[in-house]
Amino acid sequence: MTALIAFLIFITVLSFVMTVSKWFYADREAISERVARQLRGDFKDKRNTVQLERRERLSDLPVLNRLLKSFRPVKAFQTWIRQAGLSVSPGAILLCSSFTGSIGGLASLTLPLGPIASATLVSMGLVLPFVFIMLERLKRKKRFSEGFPDAIARIAGSLRAGYSMQMAIEALLEDSRPLIAEEFRRVLAEMEVGQGFEVALQKMLERIDTPDLRLFIASISIQRESGGNLAELMDNLEATIRQRFELQRELQAAAAQAKFSGAVLSFLPLFVGIALFFIHRNYILFFFQDPIGRNLFWLCITGQVLGFLTIHKLIRLQM
């Protein structure tokens, strides 16, 4: 037992040091990534052609880097990290996951917990960084979607004033929200190094994957192929997105009663347990004093969390 605790402490400290160093140098790596992105392309001379490609490292550890490259889901996970707006590698997230999981393992060894409770605690520690990335990704997409209709309206106004699309985006950077300005600034930067407008928009879609942005890119592609009034097209697109937001708010108001019922069902066992503690205290103390009771307690907590997530999934409306 002592050797296991010492090993977990070593893994925890090692993961903590490597995770902190990765987060500390994240800005420097982001700058290097932008420089490499601008250098990427074809450079030709009279004798030969040299193509510079940015090689993305999944981890600074060579062994872990080779291991992660052999797994296909890591590529999708790397896309999720970009969509969350983080400048870290998947290997750093795995180190952070091992750190939080080691903390859960140490806590399960030092506290009088049963096997089910220990497994639950370790599992929660392992998935904590991934839950953080998922929440940051959802928040970033929501912030972008909220300000995107105003951005389209400004682009449409600039187009009606006689600006080109590139000039309209440059005018948008002055008075738009920080996230939207950052993403469109990247589009302009990629266009300045020779990439096409649609290619730059597709890369923007990889960073911000929202239905509104997909519709925006599809509208521009169709207009470039078939022609037409682009300003009028942007006005129609803005009206469509705003109508969708209004319909979504109406649906959320209609589902408010279902959400309230789900919250009541989720927290009802907690209130019942508090009431039983004052009425028949021995019924509740069984879940804390007896080893079987402790395992049953953590099993109930796990089932309650899964039930809450299931109810939340059922009543969540997506458009």
In a domain, 135, yes or no: no
Q: Which of 196, 213, 244 is the last residue of a domain?
A: 244
In a domain, 228, yes or no: yes
Q: Which of 191, 213, 244 is the last residue of a domain?
A: 244
pLDDT of residue 317: 61
In a domain, 250, yes or no: no
145 shares a domain with 232: yes
CB 298 within 8 A of CB 242: no
For every one of its 319 residues, what pLDDT tens digit does the chain have, with 9 covering 90 and above?
Answer: 555 455 545 455 555 555 555 555 544 555 455 555 554 444 333 333 333 334 456 666 666 667 777 777 777 888 888 888 887 888 888 888 888 888 888 877 777 777 777 788 888 888 888 999 999 999 999 899 888 999 999 999 988 888 888 888 888 888 788 889 989 998 988 888 888 888 888 889 888 888 889 989 988 888 888 877 888 888 998 899 898 888 888 877 777 777 788 788 878 888 888 888 888 888 888 888 888 888 888 888 888 888 888 877 777 665 5
179 shares a domain with 77: no
In a domain, 122, yes or no: no
264 shares a domain with 208: no
279 shares a domain with 234: no
In a domain, 224, yes or no: yes
240 shares a domain with 148: yes
108 shares a domain with 9: yes
Q: Which two tokens stand for residue 191?
A: 């266009």
In a domain, 72, yes or no: yes
84 shares a domain with 15: yes
pLDDT of residue 45: 38
What is the CATH number for 206? 1.20.81
In a domain, 301, yes or no: yes
281 shares a domain with 213: no
What is the pTM assigned to this prediction? Answer: 0.68
In a domain, 304, yes or no: yes
- Could you tell me the residue range of the domain that residue 235 belongs to? 141-244
6 shares a domain with 107: yes
How many domains in the chain?
Answer: 3
156 shares a domain with 207: yes
238 shares a domain with 284: no
228 shares a domain with 280: no
